[in-house]
Amino acid sequence: MSDIHIRQDGRAGRITLSRPKALNALTYDMVLQIEAALDQWRTDPTIDLLVIDAEGDKAFCAGGDIQEMYETGTAGNYDYGRKFWRDEYRMNAKMAEFPKPVVTFLQGFTMGGGVGVGCHGAHRIVCADSRIAMPEVGIGLIPDVGGSLLLARAPGRLGEYLGLTADRMDAGDAIHAGFADHFVPRETWPALIAALCDTGDPGAVGRAASPAPRSRLADWQPQLDACFGGDTLADIHHAMPDPAPEPITHAQKLMARNSPLAMACALRIIRTVRGADDIRTALEHEYRYTARSMERGDFLEGIRAAIIDKDRSPKWCHASWRAVPEADIVAMEGPVTDAPLQF
């Protein structure tokens, strides 16, 4: 059975991720097939919109399939990872810049690479069990696949909070933070998809939507904004009150698990991207980090601890997130000249 099902259905171009046992994690081949479909449908007059969904109940897409990245990286071959990221980011840019409405159905987990496929469209649909996150700092990466742009656009300092903690958003949080648009009960999705394919009218989404659930992050935002506005991780630490309220103790607990270098660089990237507000700028700055993440960063150790050995005890390059040297951040920031990202 194929990992992805791409076809035309009425007025819609349909992309269905079909690796439910693997939580629909993106393989390199799936990335290339999605890109090819975007290229074909961009100017096809018989396609009015795109509908992107996934099989299974647990996940729309829980991320990228990084097993081969780990195997090649630990062998000293960093070219495969760089190629994967270059081609994936090019697809992400095409998704974000697609000239027709893109409607995505985000059940269960939508994380990492899944955000790059599911959260750049014009009509992003969530339901009661949706859980959306940018968890990269937990494995030594930075929020990528254009996620830094979504974080930069989030209200207040929620982007910094979500990028540095890797906290998971429910449906209400995702809508509040700008990662989703509409809450539609899951049981009505088949009828909505049929209407979209039949009519090619994205207005059907708004007519099917229900009021968004209450957002925990909206309630927490004043306290998060007060702490996550600092220029550095040290500034954020110093802004945290003692004793700390629940939102801040929750943030501290999550940040203690993550790569200090990745968090420091994620903070820098989110601030840079906020000033540009452009998907290609976001992807370019993300690639500067990911292209170096195996050789100079914590990525391989993060994968070992989380996925290979599963001991959940990574030995990060830096002992504390409160003190990452500026020189180490700068070393991850420069343009990649030997294998550049090209759109």
Q: What is the pLDDT of residues 24-53, one digit of tens each?
A: 999 999 999 999 999 999 999 999 999 999
Enter the tokens of residue 23: 């939580």
- Note whether residue 307 is domain-resident: yes
* C-alpha to C-alpha distance for 44 and 53, rounded to whole angstroms: 21
Dist CA 269 CA 135 (whole Å)? 15
Q: Is 226 a domain residue?
A: yes
Q: Looking at the predicted structure, is the pLDDT value of residue 219 above 90?
A: yes
- Confirm whether 336 is domain-assigned: no
Residue 67 has pLDDT above 90, yes or no: no
- On whether residue 138 sits in a domain, the answer given is yes
Whether the pLDDT of residue 103 is over 90: the answer is yes
- pLDDT value, residue 1: 60
Residue 174 — pLDDT band, cuts 50, 70, 90? very high
Residue 158 within a domain: yes
pLDDT of 93 reads 98
Which CATH number characterizes residue 134's domain? 3.90.226.10
Instruction: Tell me the average pLDDT across 185-207.
Output: 98
**Residues 78/69, Cβ–Cβ less than 8 Å:** no
Confidence at 66, pLDDT banded by 50, 70, 90 = confident
pLDDT higher than threshold 80 for residue 105: yes
* pLDDT for residue 171: 98
Domain annotation covers residue 60 = yes
pLDDT digits (tens, 9 = 90+) for 247-288: 999 999 999 999 999 999 999 999 999 999 999 999 999 999
Answer yes or no: is 341 within a domain.
Answer: no
* Active-site amino acid positions: 64, 113, 136, 144
Strands of the 123-126 sheet, one edge to the other = 4-9, 12-17, 49-54, 102-106, 123-126, 182-183
H/E element holding 130? none
Number of folded domains that form the chain: 1
The predicted structure's pLDDT at residue 149: 98
Q: What percent of the chain has pLDDT over 90?
A: 97
Least confident of 69-78, 140-149, 150-159: 69-78
DSSP code string of 152-170? HHSSTTHHHHHHHH-PPB-
User: Which residue range forms the structural domain that includes residue 106?
Assistant: 4-330
Three-state secondary structure string covering 270-296: HHHHHHHCCHHHHHHHHHHHHCCCCCC
Q: Is beta strand 59-61 parallel, antiparallel or unpaired with respect to 49-54? A: unpaired
Q: Is there a domain that residue 290 lies in?
A: yes
